[in-house]
Amino acid sequence: MTDDLAHGESHATVRTDRPERYGKQLVSHLGRRNGGEWTPDTRSGWIELAGGRATVTATQAELHLHIVGGVDDLSRLEDVVGRHLVRFGERDELTITWERCPDTTGNVEQTDT
């Protein structure tokens, strides 16, 4: 990302009984290409993506996802992060609904039924 590009943000909150497991798995998998790190002590991590960066934070029953990237890249970044998380959590039928700042709906990823 360069400073002369317009940036946007998107976030999602995913309800799950296993937020830390999915967060760690997502960071480990997607971080292989451009970098990423999961910190068990803070139950959070980051992923460097082509065109942006994602942060992942696990709470007791939720996984919080946040993406910062070029406005033109947000849809693709939401798709990449969301699609992988849905695949990892297929058994739990995870649904990810992205909200872009300022308050517009982004992509929705869910298990095909």
Which residue's structure tokens are 């609904």?
97
Could you give the count of Cα atoms lying within 13 Å of 50 in the half-sphere of its Cβ? 5
Please write the tens of the pLDDT for every residue from 40-74.
999 999 999 999 999 999 999 999 999 999 989 99
What domains does the chain contain, in order, with CATH numbers?
A: 7-110 (3.30.310.50)
Model confidence at 2, in pLDDT bands (50, 70, 90)?
Answer: very low
Write down the pLDDT at residue 107: 63
Please state the rounded mean pLDDT for residues 90-101.
93
Model confidence at 101, in pLDDT bands (50, 70, 90)?
Answer: confident
Task: Tell me how crowded residue 61 is: count the other CB atoms within 10 A of its CB.
Answer: 11
How far from each other are the two terminal CA atoms of the chain, in whole angstroms?
Answer: 36
